[in-house]
Chains A and B, each alone.
Chain A
């Protein structure tokens, strides 16, 4: 009697867990903080409702090491990650990230080829822009990296990120290299041009918070900073402005783990998350632009708001898309190593 009872109890548990599994779910991972909160409202909740799935969230400021350990076991827990495109590509090359079957992602058709790789689709864009103190420059602010380098016409203190990515590109643009001929970067030429400006750079900033504080305190008159940090300072009422002209577009992408436990749902989620209508929700919650430019055609984003978005077609046309491929190449890695010795001398 007892035995049959426990068997039926086991059956019940099995049935229950089977029922649980059939209610579709995925585990989605992003970088945490205000950014993940914003996309929960903008993207994740609407998609969950639309598809009738459960989205379990996890966050990791640097997903790469976790991706490595999870896929090494062959039984990962995560399904979809929002991570720098570089990680999707090198993850794909090392067999950790699923090669995407684009026939299962019809919404990706709207997305320009430059925003896609065999392993990833652009999710959202941010930008490294030229920001400046309005009081310091009045009606004639710096508009390009050539102006940034021109210490005679534009005196004042300057800051750049303590990292070669986007900084080398800015140096080359200032030196007259056309935007469409930047890659592969002429690293020697870039460092030579940086050497020229180096005595005039007051701060090489290391964190986004630091770059914002430098602007807000008036410690520096112009700098390269991430657009979201600059707009935050402007919202505080500081006399600060910026230009998207010659800004550097960077994105994070969605990719799927190799051996994802819920592969089919992961594909359905990915397709829905990059739909123009869903992507158009981004600007309502955060100063990052949709990864799918078709979002701007939905009418959901006002022209005034679109003007503040890094990825709006108008702003994107003024900017340079950072080449993740180049930066993950051996030449890119070499440039990163050379940076430390440049800063120190």
Chain B
């Protein structure tokens, strides 16, 4: 007996090695481009003049700019998420209930702007919303307003453009969830005497909630990291965390401070994912199934 191993164990081992080999490129990319830079970031955030320091983190407690920026960023994220639910839910509902041809058309309209650069869309909103822009000119010409409304170069303009950019991230998970709700259930509810509103509230809405959670997490987290839109449309006073990071490097050349802000934002995002995963499994947020 040269070997006591039976063939199936050998086979399994070979397969294990093969899987590792197949995974190697992906692991290298993730390790090299994500894990290593993140570690470097964490390292930078506790270093100053060649020694260990917590000074960069202490600024979260002492510098009012820091917590104001986080407050503004979370405020934006709440408003944008709320608005995308209100706007996106009916759209997804109609798309999921419509005949296939129509639902494809609706989804195409939602996804189409997705392929336009964020920069282009920001400038498009600028053209629409600025003082002599299309919206203000139309309203003035119709005699509805005397003075142009301040629609852009402030938080409002930033919120409008951000909602537009992130709406697909809400509609698509919602649609995916709603489409899987068997129509038999709502029919059963109706046949048992439920009014349409009652059936919606008691049957459809609870079943669509995983989609709402998935969309909420995606939109909320993406808003936290928004940079170009507030930079271009915020008029300089809509100050988000991402801008605080870049300003710390551009103006003060402080990599430690910038790193500590990034790490704190990252921890916030992890916490949000963790919270959401208590409600629905993580794979469903990302896969939205």
A interface, CB within 8 angstroms of B: 157, 162-163, 202-206, 210, 217-220, 336-337, 340-341, 343-345
Contacts and interface: CB of A to CB of B under 8 A. Distances in A.
Contacts of A202: 150, 153, 235
Given A336-B252, A340-B247, A344-B68, A204 B237 contact: yes
B237 A343 contact: yes
Nearest to A338: B65
Nearest to B68: A344
B239 A344 contact: yes
A219 B233 CA distance: 12
Given A344-B65, A344-B239, 18 more contacts: A163-B251, A203-B235, A203-B236, A204-B235, A205-B236, A210-B232, A217-B130, A218-B132, A219-B130, A219-B153, A336-B251, A340-B65, A340-B247, A341-B65, A341-B68, A343-B236, A343-B239, A344-B68
Contacts of B153: 202-203, 219
Interface of B: 63-65, 68-69, 72, 130-132, 150, 153, 231-232, 235-237, 239, 244, 247, 251-252
B236 A204 contact: yes
- The interface residues of chain B, by DSSP majority, are classed as loop
A206 B252 contact: no
Contacts of B235: 202-204
Nearest to A341: B65
Nearest to B152: A219
A337 B239 CA distance: 15
B120 to A, nearest CB: 14
Contacts of A217: 130, 132
Contact of A206 (B64, B69, B231, B244): B231
Contacts of A203: 153, 235-236
A162 B236 contact: yes
Interface centre among B63, B236, B239, B251 (most CB of A within 10 A): B236
B64 A337 contact: no
B61 to A, nearest CB: 15
- The interface residues of chain A, by DSSP majority, are classed as mixed
A341 B67 CA distance: 11
Contacts of B231: 206
Nearest to B69: A344
A205 B69 CA distance: 18
A126 B231 CA distance: 25
Contacts of B69: 344
A19 B251 CA distance: 45
A344 B235 CA distance: 12
A202 B233 CA distance: 11
Contacts of B65: 340-341, 344
Contacts of B130: 217, 219
Nearest to A210: B232
Contacts of B252: 336-337
Contacts of B63: 341
Contacts of B247: 340
Contacts of B244: 340
14 contacts: A163-B251, A202-B150, A202-B235, A203-B153, A204-B235, A210-B232, A219-B132, A219-B153, A341-B68, A343-B236, A343-B239, A344-B65, A344-B237, A345-B68
A60 B84 CA distance: 42
Closest 6 pairs (CB-CB, A-B): A204-B236, A162-B236, A203-B235, A341-B65, A218-B132, A203-B153
Contacts of B132: 217-219
A217 B123 CA distance: 12
B62 to A, nearest CB: 12
B10 to A, nearest CB: 54
Contacts of A162: 236
Interface centre among B131, B232, B235, B247 (most CB of A within 10 A): B235
A217 B132 CA distance: 7
B131 A341 contact: no
Nearest to B250: A62
Contacts of A340: 65, 239, 244, 247
A206 B235 CA distance: 9
B211 to A, nearest CB: 36
A217 B137 CA distance: 13
Nearest to B236: A204
A219 B131 CA distance: 5
Contacts of A220: 131
Contacts of A204: 235-237
A210 B252 CA distance: 22
A157 B131 CA distance: 10
Contacts of B232: 210
